[in-house]
Structure 1
Amino acid sequence: MGLPAILSTLIGTSLATGARRLKHGPLRPGWSFKYEATVACMRATNERVVHLDAPAQREEMERLSVPSPALKRVRREQVDAGGVQAEWFTPPGAAGDSVVVYLHGGSYVFGSTRTHGDLIARIALGTGARVLGLNYRLAPEHPFPAPVEDTVAAYRWLLSTGVRPERVVFCGDSAGGGLAIASLVALRDRGEPLPAGAVLIAPWVDLECSGASVVAHERFDWGDKRMLLHWAKWYVGEADVRNPLVSPWYADLRGLPPLFVHVGSAELQHDDGVRITEKARAAGVKAHLEVWPEMVHNFQTFGEGFPEAVRGTAKLCEHVRGVLAEAAPR
């Protein structure tokens, strides 16, 4: 699907959204036309892409990536992070000893530092820290535990370069959010030093998709339970879907560093974010939850043209700055 077809999808969904709003009003009270049309376009894209094989899905998602103002303001550098393909995003005047390790979403099947480059760049600019984006191996060619192994290997490599664990924050969206928690659990169980904290954007922590919001919010969000279960099957492979490193909802969370969780009130993963926060608190983990009204899945990735994405990313960056400041040398 080339650019003309993508534009055709955008135009078609925009026209359909406009006609529907004229007759019934906005799908959600707080949604602008631009926001609703964007969600509709993303939903139409997912409905088409989910039927393709994995390489074709990745190719389609990569095509949707476009240059952004934020990307022009950071320096990017490919790096081998302990055998894991990765990319540095360095903002002007970056503090060299502070690092955000970013784990992209994409249902463990697609996604990269290219598809998520704009958000990664905005996080680098907003925190003043270098961001190490990981291009971990993807399913179905590389099912569980490959992404967990890659994250652990890259983190070990980062520490081997002299970066102290208390100067590192994990950050991930969707599958990347679940991967962040799984990697923390894996590191804890192996007795390795943990980072200062983790920021989780709409974390996918239950690959059985048992949360009520997965069905209740299907009419608003840009995916559905059928899609999630399809991608989950590719990632889980021969493993047990309730393995704590597959679905961190089943993990013992004791001893993990502080968590900062962002979810939208209208998204599929709403319940995943709420439940993992409550479970973390019950395990004695400091966990802060922010539920953003009317927002759908990964609204922070929508770019600088959406005020909600700008405000959401700013809050995430404010939290990261606070975590890193607490660990700064006195």
Structure 2
Amino acid sequence: MSQAAAGATVDDEKSLLEKAVRLFVDATPPVGAPIEDWRTGFEALAANFEIAADAEIEEIEADGVPGRLVRAPGADRDQVIIHFHSGGYVQGSSLSYRNFAYRLSQVTGQTVVVPDYRLAPENPYPAAVEDAKTVYGWALRTWSHDRIVISGDSAGGGLAVATLLAIRDSGLPKPAAAFAISPLLDLAGESPSMQECAESDALIDRNMVVEMGKVYIGDIDPHEHPYCSPLWGEHHDLPPLLLLASNSEVLRDDSVRLADSVRAAGGSAELSLPEGMVHIWTLFPFLPQAAKSLDVIGGFVKSHAGS
């Protein structure tokens, strides 16, 4: 954990959390605004996060899917995390995730690959899942399956879990483990926390989930398409999972419901539900809880995919 995170007071943490919410709100246009406004806002938000001088960053092409490979000093070249970025399937990029990928590489000691999967509305469902599966097939030619971890946050977290289902259903060897941060797993927006946390979540509500989801999936029923809404799929034969969500965000119970279903199917699913965090808080390098949660992720990854 960073020294700043360890030494932060309660007032400091509150002030920093308010800063994160403010940055998020300022970057987020109203539902229905042009997609370019969403994309520009998100990139401007991420531009606040400094890229470390010692970061090793390489543009890659994974069988036609572009992205970036990021390593912190000392990271293992023989182990990789494939991380799918957030953005509601319409925004976000490997460029905006360089800072996060570097911190993830630091805490796990692994190489991180952030794919630029195709975005809606130009490339609607199932384009993102197709790209994610392509990237995994590409990774299997360089890394052993038991040295690959799949992860994502928000919509990228949903994509990560959808990719696990697609890998299993295709008969490919499964990765060593997977984790997801504030994952968007139900585009029908039916988790109880949609109502229970409506007042405590400053950023997301059911209308945003459903309406932005329609940009990605159109008029299809998410209940019938687990590769876009993985809570509605079968959850047997998945690798060990770690699911993180704020206890006060509307997406909280997407993680709770998935964890319950994975366990009922005989699998392993750990839950981490820190109090009072903003959605995908780990994106913000100045939040003490971001460092704490990344430490949890680091321990999980090392226990399942360590050297």
TM-score by length of 1: 0.85
Q: Distance in 2 between matches of 1:173 and 1:62?
A: 16
On the 8 A contact 1:220/1:266 being kept in 2, the answer is: yes
Matched, 1:253 2:248: no
Letter in 1 for 2:95: R
Bigger relative contact order, structure 1 or 2 (CA pairs below 8 A, ≥6 apart): 2
Q: Would you say the 8 A contact 2:68–2:95 is kept in 1?
A: no
1:55 and 2:36 correspond: yes
Residue 168 of structure 1, aligned match among 148, 162, 166: 148
Q: Which moved more, 1:119-128 or 1:54-63?
A: 54-63
Describe the SS at the equivalent of 2:273. Answer: strand
Give 3-state SS (helix, strand or coil) of 1:137's partner: coil
In the TM superposition, what are the counterparts of 1:36-55 in structure 2 within 5 Å? Answer: 36-46=18-28, 48-55=29-36
Structure with higher Rg: it is: 1
Q: Does 1:130 find its partner at 2:107?
A: no
2:82 is the counterpart of 1:82? no
Pick closer, same or farther for the CA change 1:273–1:33 going to 2, 3 Å: same
| Aligned length in residues | 296
In 1, distance between residues paired with 2:248 and 2:59?
36
The answer as to 2:196 corresponding to 1:216 is yes
2 CA distance for matches of 1:62 and 1:79?
A: 20
Match of 1:147 in 2: 128
Counterpart mapping for 1:42-121 below 5 A = 42-46=24-28, 48-66=29-47, 68-69=49-50, 71-121=52-102
- In the alignment, the residues of structure 1 paired with residue 158 and residue 37 of structure 2 have an alpha-carbon distance, to the nearest angstrom, of 24
Stretches of structure 2 lacking an aligned partner (at least 5 in a row) = 1-9
Q: CA deviation at 1:67?
A: 5.6
Shift of 1:33: 2.8
Please state how far the C-alpha of 1:44 moved relative to its aligned partner. Answer: 4.8
Alpha-carbon RMSD across the aligned residues, in angstroms, is 1.9
Could you tell me which residue of structure 2 aligns to residue 9 of structure 1?
Answer: none
Secondary structure of the residue that 2:256 maps to in structure 1? Answer: helix
Corresponding residue for residue 171 of structure 2: 191
**Aligned partners of 2:39 and 2:91 also within 8 Å:** yes
Deviation at 1:71, TM superposition (A): 3.5
Q: How many Å separate the matches in 2 of 1:77 and 1:29? A: 39
Give the residue type in structure 2 aligned to 1:313.
L
Q: Percent identity?
A: 33
The residue type paired with residue 204 of structure 2 is: G
Distance change (3 Å), C-alpha of 1:112 and 1:82: same
Normalised by the length of structure 2, the TM-score is 0.91
For structure 1, list consecutive stretches of 5 or more residues without a partner in the other structure. Answer: 1-27
